[in-house]
């Protein structure tokens, strides 16, 4: 009887732990061309990072299993410096379901090219919110909270603020770190410092408004009125012109359109010429790098 009760308690505890976690992250490691040790370390690295991201409770909110945020982290190892030190890039992506449909819309796509870290087998990744322990844990925590902030912004107006503030705390804690990407004067303005500094700035409020209006007021209501939803989504995108006027070619705008360019083309290609023209005029102004994609929308 005691064994049965113990088993039931363990099952309930395990189920409760699963419900509490917010992220469902798939981690992929692209191995370096030049190996200096056992390549099996990269499978261990994948598992360890996934356990750190998926096994941690990042918020005080309760998530059901089906509510967990789908995200990806692809780590490309460009240089195996020594047995414990690695250099490369980190590609982070996340998506969220559209209400009453099977479609998942991309929310975030960012390629951080400054990923230097130390990893040792059989050692858990340790992270603390009040200090910078190492670059690996700080970067993973930064992007975990940035994923959360972006997702929450898509469900309520500026709903991700508390998570972006935690990103900012991670950045501030890392100001003494030797690795790149944490300071305002590194890599121009395309780094972690500016990614979160911008999103919390009043100048970028139209971008956060766009995230909410486009997804919650537009996409999530498309099943009831496609035309009205597309209009709301178009209006949301037009609002980005206000950000562009103040901060043209900002890192955050580039990240937004990395995630959204293909979807925008798909959503607005079937619309009336007037609606398409509005969106096309906006996108060619604020996202000229994808102009060939937007031209396909007009054909």
Q: pLDDT tens, position by position, for the chain (299 residues)?
A: 434 433 333 433 444 444 558 999 999 999 999 988 899 999 999 999 999 999 999 999 999 988 999 999 999 999 999 999 999 999 999 999 999 999 999 999 999 999 999 999 989 999 999 999 999 999 999 999 999 999 999 999 999 999 999 999 999 999 999 999 999 998 778 999 999 999 999 999 999 999 999 999 999 999 999 999 999 999 999 999 999 999 999 999 999 999 999 999 999 999 999 999 999 999 999 999 999 999 999 98
- Measured distance CA(124)–CA(176) in Å, rounded: 23
Query: Which of 210, 205, 145 lies closest to 173, judged by CA?
Result: 145
Residue 253: which of 277, 220, 297, 285 has the closest Cα?
A: 285
Q: Which helix (H) or strand (E) holds 250?
A: none
Q: Are 50 and 74 in contact (CB under 8 A)?
A: no
Q: Measuring CA to CA, which residue among 23, 140, 138 is closest to residue 75?
A: 140
Q: Yes or no: say if 74 and 90 are a contact pair by the CB < 8 Å rule.
A: yes
User: Where would I find the H helices in 154-204?
Assistant: 161-173, 192-199
CA distance 289 to 106: 19
Calpha distance 115→202 (Å, rounded): 29
From residue 245, how far is each of 178, 239, 250 by CA, in Å? 34, 11, 10
CA-based Rg of the chain, rounded to a whole angstrom? 21
């Amino acid at each position: 009887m005691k064994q049965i009760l113990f088993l039931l308690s363990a099952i309930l505890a395990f189920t409760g732990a699963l419900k509490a976690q917010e992220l469902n992250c798939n981690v992929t490691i692209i191995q370096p061309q030049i190996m200096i040790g056992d390549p099996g370390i990269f499978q261990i690295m994948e598992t360890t990072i996934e356990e750190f991201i998926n096994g941690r409770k990042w918020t005080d909110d309760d998530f059901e299993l089906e509510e967990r945020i789908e995200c990806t982290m692809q780590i490309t190892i460009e240089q195996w410096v020594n047995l414990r030190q690695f250099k490369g890039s980190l590609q982070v992506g996340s998506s969220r379901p559209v209400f009453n449909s099977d479609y998942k819309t991309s929310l975030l796509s960012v390629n951080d090219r400054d990923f230097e870290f130390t990893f040792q087998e059989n050692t858990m990744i340790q992270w603390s919110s009040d200090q910078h322990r190492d670059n690996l844990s700080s970067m993973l925590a930064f992007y975990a909270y940035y994923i959360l902030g972006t997702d929450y912004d898509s469900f309520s107006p500026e709903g991700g603020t508390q998570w972006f503030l935690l990103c900012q705390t991670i950045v501030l804690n890392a100001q003494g770190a030797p690795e790149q990407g944490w300071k305002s004067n590194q890599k121009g303005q395309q780094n972690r410092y500016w990614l979160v500094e911008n999103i919390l700035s009043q100048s970028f409020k139209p971008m956060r408004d766009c995230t909410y209006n486009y997804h919650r007021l537009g996409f999530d209501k498309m099943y009831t009125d496609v035309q009205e939803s597309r209009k709301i989504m178009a209006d949301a995108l037009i609002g980005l012109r206000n950000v562009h006027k103040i901060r043209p070619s900002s890192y955050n705008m580039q990240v937004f359109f990395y995630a959204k360019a293909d979807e925008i083309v798909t959503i607005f290609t079937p619309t009336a010429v007037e609606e398409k023209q509005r969106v096309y005029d906006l996108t060619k102004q604020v996202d000229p790098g994808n102009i060939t994609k937007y031209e396909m929308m007009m054909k």
